């Protein structure tokens, strides 16, 4: 019996819900009047409560400032709120940062996930039988655990071997394995999702799309690693959120579901498309055409050449399809950043500017 068969009011514990994907997920789920969401977030550099300002006083939403590695806090939240599911978004996520300082990624993604699993297992083991059967632990992961594809190779499936090439990817791979182990060894009803590159509102602007959008609007250089031919599969964040809800409610316990946009683009194609959109919305800017701002920079270490996701399993089993095309999703994304200058200003702090300088040099 899946969560979708439950008609009573429900509570979910969402971890890392102030980040990019987590906050978009919470905003979408907050429209469900039968659902209460407890959001546990450490509020590191990429966690931003401004993302959730619209629901901060919502009667079915509670924010808790804390770390998934704080096992006693997690246990207290579980015992107090008695959730029917835990959805784990909490993670350090940026490859470049993991190369500079892998320790934080091990602490958050490996040790943190382990401690979250331990607290959840203890809570789940004491539940009444019916509640144990309907409880779910959903772990949100990445396609980067699979490593890099050659040009002619088929997309990653759920059976693809793990071959991470960065400290970030290795830490996520390790957390995926722990989640699987807690199902196989202890019976905890877990689910794992591995998604392709997300884009959309509220994304911290060290990531490719918001960095290019904001730099372009400000007439700054658009730094592209290497030759710009690295390929990623792009997925609009709201489509990802809908897929996660389906996995949570109808996915088979113990299974992994790959979630992709079926939209492979080179980094240079992405940047050039953004430039074309900026030419339309900022046609009178002195730096039109915006493509003149593109600047190729030294490639980063361990930069995977190609990712691609085969979403056949979730399409066939759960009837999920992305609603946004690359063009429609990207237009929405550009419009969002144009429409939220206060949010942009608040996240572009001195520390952020120092980070950009460190990774892309003086451009």
Note the pTM of the prediction, 2 decimals: 0.92
pLDDT of amino acid 352:
43
Asked if the model's pLDDT at residue 355 lies above 70, the reply is no
Give the percent of the chain with pLDDT over 70. Answer: 94
Q: Is 226 helix (H, G, I), strand (E, B) or coil?
A: coil
The helix-helix angle for 326-339 and 267-281 (nearest 10°) equals 50
Non-local (6+) Cβ contacts of 99 within 8 A are: 166, 167, 300, 301, 302
Please report the sign of the dihedral spanned by the C-alpha atoms of residue 198, residue 202, residue 205, residue 211.
positive
Identify the residue whose tokens are 């990653």.
156
Quick check: bond before 289 cis, omega within 30?
Answer: yes
Task: Among 84-88, 155-159, 181-185, 354-358, name the one with the lowest average pLDDT.
Answer: 354-358
Catalytic residues: 143-144, 168
pLDDT digits (tens, 9 = 90+) for 8-51: 799 999 999 999 999 999 999 999 999 999 999 999 877 899 99
Confidence tier at 236 by pLDDT (50, 70, 90): very high
DSSP letters for 327-349: HHHHHHHHHHHHH-HHHHHHH--
**Domain made up of 3-202+234-262+303-325: CATH architecture:** 3-Layer(aba) Sandwich (3.40)
pLDDT grade for 5, boundaries at 50, 70 and 90: very low
Q: Which of 71-85, 264-278, 337-351 has the lowest mean pLDDT?
A: 337-351
List the chain domain ranges: 3-202+234-262+303-325
pLDDT tens per residue, range 244-261: 999 999 999 999 999 999
pLDDT digits (tens, 9 = 90+) for 80-115: 999 999 999 999 877 778 888 999 999 999 999 999
pLDDT of residue 354 exceeding 70, the answer is no
């Amino acid at each position: 019996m899946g969560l979708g068969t439950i008609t009573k009011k429900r509570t979910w514990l969402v971890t890392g819900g102030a980040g990019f994907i987590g906050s978009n997920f919470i905003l979408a789920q907050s429209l469900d009047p039968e659902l209460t969401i407890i959001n546990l977030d450490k509020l590191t550099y990429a966690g931003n409560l401004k993302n959730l300002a619209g629901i901060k006083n919502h009667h079915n939403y509670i924010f808790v400032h804390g770390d998934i590695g704080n096992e006693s806090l997690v246990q207290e939240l579980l015992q107090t709120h008695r959730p029917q599911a835990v959805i784990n978004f909490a993670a350090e996520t940026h490859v470049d940062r993991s190369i500079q300082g892998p320790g934080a990624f091990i602490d958050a993604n490996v040790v943190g996930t382990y401690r979250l699993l331990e607290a959840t297992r203890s809570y789940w083991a004491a539940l009444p039988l019916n509640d144990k059967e309907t409880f779910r632990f959903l772990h949100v992961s990445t396609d980067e655990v699979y490593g890099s594809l050659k040009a002619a190779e088929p997309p990653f499936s759920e059976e693809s071997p793990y071959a991470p090439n960065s400290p970030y990817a290795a830490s996520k791979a390790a957390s995926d394995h722990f989640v699987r182990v807690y199902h196989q060894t202890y019976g905890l009803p877990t689910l794992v999702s591995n998604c392709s590159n997300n884009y959309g509102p509220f994304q911290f602007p060290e990531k490719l799309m918001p960095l290019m959008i904001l730099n372009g609007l400000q007439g700054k250089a658009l730094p592209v690693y290497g030759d710009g031919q690295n390929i990623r599969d792009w997925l609009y964040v709201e489509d990802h959120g809908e897929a996660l809800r389906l996995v949570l409610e109808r996915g088979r316990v113990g299974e992994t579901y790959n979630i992709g946009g079926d939209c492979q683009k080179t980094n240079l194609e992405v940047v050039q498309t953004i430039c074309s959109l900026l030419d339309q919305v900022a046609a009178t800017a002195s730096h039109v055409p915006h493509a003149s701002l593109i600047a190729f920079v030294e490639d980063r270490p361990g930069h995977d050449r190609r990712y691609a996701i085969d979403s056949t399993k979730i399409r066939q089993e759960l009837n999920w399809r992305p609603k946004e095309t690359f063009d429609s999703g990207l237009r929405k994304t550009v419009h969002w950043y144009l429409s939220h200058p206060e949010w942009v200003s608040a996240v572009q702090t001195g520390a952020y500017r120092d980070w950009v300088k460190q990774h892309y040099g003086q451009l």
